[in-house]
Amino acid sequence: MIKSNIKWGIIEKIVKIILAFLIGALVARSLGPEGLGKISLGTAILSILNVIAGMGMQNIVVKLIVEEENKNNKIIGTAIIITTIASFFIFAILGWILFIYSNMDAELKVIVIVINSAILFRQADVLQYIYEAKINFKGISKLLLATNLLMTILKIAFLKFELTVIWYAALIPLEVAIIAIGTYAIAGRDGLITYKLNIKLSTVRKLLIKSFPLLIASLSSILYLKIDQIMIGTYLNNEELGLYSAATRLSELMYIIPMTIMASYYPVLVEFKQKNESQYSKLTSNLLNVGSITAILASMATLVFSETLINIAYGNKYYEAAAILKIHGWTLLFVTIGVISHAWYVIEGLQSNIMYRTTFGALLNIILNSQLIPEYGGIGAAIGTLITQAVTTIGVDIITTKTRKLLILKIESLNPMIYFESVRKILK
C-alpha cells in the first residue's frame, strides 16, 4: 500500500515535469525573454510569499499527525485558520506596497498581483498534509494530474490564439484554485473535514513556536533560491531575467524529484525513529546515496547537453541561457542533499540548526549576487547560488557536534559503488 501511494506521488511529479518542460518551452518561445521575465518575477515573489503564508508548519503538522493521532482534527483546523489569516494579510500588504511604493510599470504590477492572488487558496495545502502523513497520495495525485492536463490544454489554446502575457499569469491562480477545491472535495469524501474551526490559543502557540525556526529556515531557503531572479530584475532588466529564468527552469524541474521522494518517505522516517533507530539510520543513508548519485548523473548530463537542451526547448532567442544552465544544473546535487537533511533536522528536533544554516545561506547569497550580478549577469547569479548551496548544505554541518554524524552520512553517500544496492533497499 505504501509503495503504491509513493509511486502515485512520483508518477504525478514525473508527468508534471514532462508537461512543464514541453508546454513551458512553447510558452517561453511565444512570450520571448522579456515576457518570460515578467512571469518569472511574479512567480519568484509568489514563491517567497507562499513560504510566509505556510508559516513553516508543513513538516511539524505531519510530524504531529503521526505522533498525536487522537488530536488530528484540532491540529489541522488550527493550521488552516493560521494559514488563511496569514495568506489574506500578506496579499493585502503586497498590494499596498506595489501600488503605493513600487515604480514598476502598470502592466507588470497587474501581472504580479494576478499571479500572487494564488496565495489566497494556500490554506487547502494543509489538508494535503493529512495524506502526506498517512502516505496516501493516490487521490491527490490524480487531482494534480487532471489539473496539469487541463492547464496544458488551456496553454495550448492560448498559444493558438496568441494571447498576451496577462492570460498566462491568470492561469497560475486558476490552477491553485482548482487544486484547492478538488482537495476539499477529496477530503470531504474521505470524511476528513470533521474538525471544528474554533481553536485554542494553546494549540496556536504550540504550532507557531515549533514552526517558527522552520519558517525562518524555509524563508531563507526560498530567498537564496529566488532572490537572484528579483535582483536580476532590479539590477538589469526583464529580458536578462527571462534568459536566466529559462535556464533555471530546466534545472529546477528536477528539484521536484527529491522533494517528492522525501515527502513520501518522511512519515516512514518519523516512524522508524520512534521504533527502530537502526532502520532509521539505514534509510537516511540509502536516501542520501540514491539522491546524491542520481543528482550527479543528471548534472553531468546537463553540463554536456546544455546547448542542445536550450535550443530544443526555447530556440535561438535563448542561446545565451546555455552557459547559465551549465553552472546552475549542479545545484541539483546540493538541493537533493539539503531536502533530506531538512527532514533529518526536524526529526532530530534540530529546527534551530535549519534556521541558522539557511539564514546564513540567504545572507551569503545576497552578498554574492550583489557583487556578481552587476558584473556577470545571469552567469554571476548561477555562480552565487551554487556556492551558497554548497557551503550551507555541506560546510555548515562541520560546526556543531550534533550534525557531524549527518555530515559523515553525506560524504559516504557520494560512493557510487553502493548506488544500486541503496535503490533496492529503499524500494524494498
State how far the Cα of 296 lies from the Cα of 414, in Å rounded to an integer.
9
3-class DSSP string for 290-338: HHHHHHHHHHHHHHHHHHHHHHHHHCHHHCCHHHHHHHHCCHHHHHHHH
Query: Looking at 116-130, 194-208, 379-393, which range is the least confident one?
Result: 194-208
Residue 116 has pLDDT above 90, yes or no: yes
pLDDT digits (tens, 9 = 90+) for 331-384: 999 999 988 888 888 888 887 777 788 788 889 999 999 999 999 999 999 999
Set of cell numbers at residue 257: 524529484
Angle between helices 378-393 and 351-376 (to 10 degrees): 160
At residue 247 the predicted structure's pLDDT band, cuts being 50, 70 and 90, is very high
Residue 304 has pLDDT above 80, yes or no: yes
- At 202 the pLDDT is 75
CA pseudo-torsion sign 101, 107, 108, 113: positive
State how far the Cα of 336 lies from the Cα of 317, in Å rounded to an integer.
31
Contacts of 406 (CB under 8 A, 6+ apart): 341, 344, 397
Instruction: Report angle CA 157, 161, 164 to the nearest 5 degrees.
Output: 100
pLDDT digits (tens, 9 = 90+) for 56-67: 777 777 777 767
- At 1 the pLDDT is 47
Q: Which long-range contacts does 209-214 make (Cβ < 8 Å, 24+ apart)? A: 210/60, 210/351, 211/55, 211/56, 211/57, 211/60, 212/56, 213/56, 213/351, 213/352, 213/354, 213/355, 214/56, 214/57, 214/59, 214/60, 214/346, 214/351, 214/354, 214/355
Contact 402, 350 (CB under 8 A): yes
Residue 35 has pLDDT above 50, yes or no: yes
At residue 2 the predicted structure's pLDDT band, cuts being 50, 70 and 90, is very low
Instruction: Specify the 3-state DSSP secondary structure of 236.
Output: coil
- Rounded percentage of the chain residues whose pLDDT exceeds 90: 36
Residue 4 has pLDDT above 70, yes or no: no
Output the CA–CA distances (angstroms, integers) from residue 163 to 26, 166, 239, in the order listed. Answer: 13, 8, 19
Output the CA–CA distances (angstroms, integers) from residue 353 to 135, 147, 397, in the order listed. Answer: 27, 37, 9
Give the alpha-carbon dihedral of 144, 331, 304, 7, to 10 degrees: -30
Angle between helices 331-347 and 277-314 (to 10 degrees): 150
What radius of gyration, in Å, describes the C-alpha atoms of the chain?
Answer: 21
State how far the Cα of 190 lies from the Cα of 72, in Å rounded to an integer.
14
User: Quick one: average pLDDT of 281-295?
Assistant: 88
CA pseudo-torsion sign 87, 366, 241, 291: negative
User: Quick one: average pLDDT of 214-225?
Assistant: 76
Set of cell numbers at residue 403: 550534525
Mean pLDDT, all residues of the chain: 84
Set of cell numbers at residue 345: 533536522
Residue 68 has pLDDT above 90, yes or no: no
Residue 318 has pLDDT above 50, yes or no: yes
User: Quick one: average pLDDT of 34-57?
Assistant: 90
Query: Looking at 131-140, 158-167, 263-272, 408-417, which range is the least confident one?
Result: 131-140
At residue 7 the predicted structure's pLDDT band, cuts being 50, 70 and 90, is low
Angle between helices 201-235 and 378-393 (to 10 degrees): 140
State how far the Cα of 93 lies from the Cα of 100, in Å rounded to an integer.
11
Q: Residue 335's closest CA among 380, 378, 279, 294?
A: 294
Q: Which long-range contacts does 192-198 make (Cβ < 8 Å, 24+ apart)? A: 192/76, 192/127, 192/130, 193/127, 194/73, 195/72, 195/73, 195/74, 195/76, 195/77, 195/80, 196/73, 196/77, 197/77, 197/80, 197/81
State how far the Cα of 379 lies from the Cα of 193, in Å rounded to an integer.
48
Residue 189 has pLDDT above 90, yes or no: no
At residue 71 the predicted structure's pLDDT band, cuts being 50, 70 and 90, is low
The more confident residue out of 259 and 383 is 383
Set of cell numbers at residue 216: 525562518
At residue 28 the predicted structure's pLDDT band, cuts being 50, 70 and 90, is very high
- At 266 the pLDDT is 83
Residue 31 has pLDDT above 60, yes or no: yes
What kind and span of H or E run contains 408?
helix 401-412
- At 324 the pLDDT is 95
CA 287 to chain centre: 18
User: Quick one: average pLDDT of 101-129?
Assistant: 88
- At 235 the pLDDT is 87
This prediction's pTM: 0.77
Q: Residue 241's closest CA among 41, 383, 106, 46?
A: 41
